Amino acid sequence: MTVTISSDTLDFLLITAAASPDREVCGLLLGQGDRIDRLVPCTNVAAEPWHRFEIDPAALIAAHRAARGGGAAVIGHYHSHPTGLAEPSPRDAADAAPDGSIWLIAGGGRVTAWRAVAAGERHGRFDPLALACA
């Protein structure tokens, strides 16, 4: 399975992640199906944002409300691993719902894509996705 994203959007994610070396950045993925049209940066409200992320609930509710009103659908989210790899951690797996959402993870100067599923091949929660620039 392949997820598409524009090169400008991917570059924005890499630049944003690199600019925050001591805190995980996070945000929402808006689009349709397996096409990411836009990133919405959100405040990381986690108690320990240097190694965990939690999207600001107000931003999440606003995005879902906008989607119900005809706006772009929330198809997943992104976050960074400032001192780690661009792959899901065991903590990510523990926090992820097996809802089929797309996760983009930035780390080490790269971005990878994952789908949160039950019994995934990574930590029992994630299946890898190919990421293609469109």
- Looking at 24, 48, 54, 121, which residue is catalytic? 24
SS3 55: strand
Task: Check: CB of residue 103 under 8 Å from CB of residue 76.
Answer: yes
Amino acid code (one letter) for 123 = H
Q: Which secondary structure element, helix H or strand E, spans residue 80, and what is its range?
A: strand 73-80
* Residues 6+ away with beta carbon under 8 Å from 115: 1, 100, 101, 102, 103, 126, 127, 129
Amino acid code (one letter) for 96 = A
Longest dimension (CA), the chain: 38
Q: Is 24 considered catalytic here?
A: yes
Catalytic annotation, residues:
24
